[in-house]
Amino acid sequence: MIDTYISIALSLGLSILLVFFLRDWNTNAPLPPGPPTYFIGGNFHQLPKAHPWKKFTEWSKEYGPVFSLRIFRNKMIVLSSLEAVSDLLQSRSAIYSDRPPAMMMEELDRPTTSMFMTSSLDPRFKPLRKMLHSGLNPQATQTYRPIQLAETRVLLKNLAFNPDKFIAHIRRTAGAMILKVAYGYQVETDNDKWVKMIENAFALEDRISMLEEFYVVMFPILKYAPKWFPGAGARRKAEEVRKMSRSVKQVPFDWAKTQMINGTNEESFVSMHLGSNSGKNLEADEEGIVVTSSAALYVGGADTTVSALTTFVLLMTLYPEVQKQAQAEVDALTSGRLPTFDDLAAMPYITAMIKEIIRWAPVAPLGLVHSVTRDDSYNGFTIPKGSRVVGNIWAIAHDDELYPDPFTFNPERHLGETPQIDPFKFVFGFGRRVCPGSHFAQISLLFNIASILATFTIAKALDANQQEIEPPVDWTSGVVSHVKPFPCRFIPRSKDIMASLDGN
C-alpha cells in the first residue's frame, strides 16, 4: 500500500512538473506553423546534427517562410525569405536585435564578453558598436591598405612555394592582417602561436553541436553535474572553450598594452583607443570595451575571410570559364603587374564574382540567433517575447524566385541593367546586428582575389595518370561554414609578377 501511495505521489508530482515546465507554450497562440511536436521535447528530436540550414529550408517549403519550432520550453522562429527578414530583423530591429539570454556558455558560467553575444539591452552594446564602427568605417579602413598589401604579397609567395598548404596560407594571411590591424602584432610564420591559438578556439567551439547546446540551455542543472554525468559532455567542451576564449581576448591585448607602455608599439586599433591611458589603470568597464572590441575584429573577420577565400579556390577549379573571364578583366588593367587598390573600382566582373561566391556558399548560413524583446505579431501569427529568431541566410541565397537556378555559380546574375538581388544586403546580418566590418571584408576579398587571379591559374589536381581529380564538395557545420579540404593546383601565370614577389 505504501508503495502505491509513493507511486501515486511521484506520478502526481511529475504531472505538476510537466505542466509547470510547459505552461506558457500555448499562451500566445497562434504561433507560426511548424513540424509536429512531442509533448516534452517538442521538435528537439528532429534537430539535425549537421547542416541545419538545409533542414530548415526543407521545412520552410512545407510550412512557409516563417515557421516555428519548440525545443522543450524555448520557441524558435525561423525566417527563410528575404521579405520576412526585411520586415522583422530589419524594419523592426528595435525589438529584434537582442541575443537569447541563456546561451550555452552563459549557463556554464562564462561571462558574456563576446561583442557578438552582447545583449542589445546591455549598456555596453552601444559603446562596443560605436568603437568597432570607428575602426572599420570606409575612411578608417583606408589606413589599413599597407598591411593588406604586405600580407597579400606574403600569401602569393606562400602559394607559389607550397601550394598544397593553400588553406593554411589563407588562414595565416587572414589572421596576420587582423592581428596587425587590431594589436600591431606582426605574424611571421604559418605556425604563429597566436594564429594557432585562435584557430584552436574556433575548432573547439565548432565541436559543440546544436544538440549539446540545447541540452544545457534546456536543462541548466547540467552545469552543476559532475563531468562524468551523462549529458555533461557539453560542459567539458565549454570549459575548454572558456579558457581558450579568455586567452584569445586577453593575451594579444595585454601584449599590445605592454608595447605601448614601453614605447615600442605600432599604431593599431588598441593603441588608438587606449591612447595616453595605456599606462594607467582604466576602469574595468572602459578597458573591457577595448578588450572586447579588439577581439571582435579577429573573431568576426578572420574565420569568415578564410571561408570565403577557400570557397573561391574551390569554385575556380569547378568553373574554369569564370576564372578566365575574371583573369581577362585583371589583365586588361594590370598588364603583367600586381593589382593596386586603385584598380579595384574598375573590376565589375570580379566584384560580381565575389557577390556570387558568398551567395553560393554563405560563410554563416544561419547567421547568429536573434531574440525578440516583446510580444509581436506578423501575418496573423504571434511571435512571443523571448523567442529565438533565426534568419536562414542559406535559404534566402538559394531562393529560386530571387536567384533562378540557384545552385549554379553564375557571376553574370549580378551584372547588367537588371541584376538579381545583391547578396551583400543580407549575408552580413540584419538590422542593428549587421556586421560592422562588412566594408573591410569586401575590400579584402576583392584585393586578395584579384591578386591571386593575376598571379595564378587555379586548376584541378592531377592523379598519377595525369587525369584531373574532381574535388569533393563538402562543408563543415559550425556557425561559420567551411568547405572541407580538397586538392588543387596553383599554376604561375606571369614571370614578371613572380620576379616581383621574389624581390620583396
User: What average pLDDT does range 181-197 have in this prediction?
Assistant: 84
More confident residue, 17 or 300: 300
| 435 appears as a binding residue in the annotation | yes
User: What average pLDDT does range 46-56 have in this prediction?
Assistant: 91
Look at residue 6 and tell me whether its pLDDT is greater than 70.
Answer: no
Give 100's contacts (C-beta < 8 A, 6+ positions apart): 369, 371, 386, 388
Nearest to 250 by CA among 198, 188, 178: 198
Backbone angles phi, psi at 483, to 5 degrees: -70, 135
User: What average pLDDT does range 415-437 have in this prediction?
Assistant: 91
Longest dimension (CA), the chain: 95
Three cell numbers, residue 471: 574535388
User: What average pLDDT does range 175-181 have in this prediction?
Assistant: 90
Q: Which class for 69: exposed (0-12), middle (13-18), buried (19 or more C-beta within 10 A)? A: buried
More confident residue, 160 or 16: 160
User: What average pLDDT does range 226-232 have in this prediction?
Assistant: 59
Q: What is the mean pLDDT of the chain?
A: 83
More confident residue, 102 or 39: 39
Number of CB atoms found within 10 A of residue 64's CB = 17
Instruction: Say how many CA atoms lie within 13 Å of 428 toward its Cβ.
Output: 19
Dihedral in degrees, nearest 10, Cα atoms 438, 424, 479, 386: 100
d(CA 482, CA 173): 16
Look at residue 113 and tell me whether its pLDDT is greater than 70.
Answer: no
pLDDT at 231: 54
Banded pLDDT at 205 (limits 50, 70, 90): low
pLDDT at 5: 43
d(CA 234, CA 208): 6
d(CA 182, CA 185): 8
Q: Tell me the CATH number of domain 27-502, given options 1.10.630.10, 1.20.150.20, 3.40.50.720, 3.40.50.300.
A: 1.10.630.10
**Parallel, antiparallel, or unpaired for β 456-460 and 66-71?**
unpaired
Domain extent listing, the chain? 27-502
Look at residue 412 and tell me whether its pLDDT is greater than 70.
Answer: yes
Instruction: Out of 273-287, 308-322, 351-365, 380-394, pick the least confident.
Output: 273-287
Number of CB atoms found within 10 A of residue 238's CB = 27
Q: What's the helix, strand, coil split of the chain in %, to 5?
A: 60, 10, 35
User: What average pLDDT does range 173-185 have in this prediction?
Assistant: 90
For residues 497 and 338, the answer to whether their CB atoms sit within 8 Å is yes
User: What average pLDDT does range 484-488 have in this prediction?
Assistant: 95
- pTM of structure: 0.87
Find residue 49's DSSP bridge partners: none
pLDDT digits (tens, 9 = 90+) for 117-150: 777 888 888 888 888 888 888 888 888 899 999 9
Give 371's contacts (C-beta < 8 A, 6+ positions apart): 96, 98, 99, 100, 101, 386, 387, 388, 389
Three cell numbers, residue 224: 552543476
Three cell numbers, residue 16: 505538476
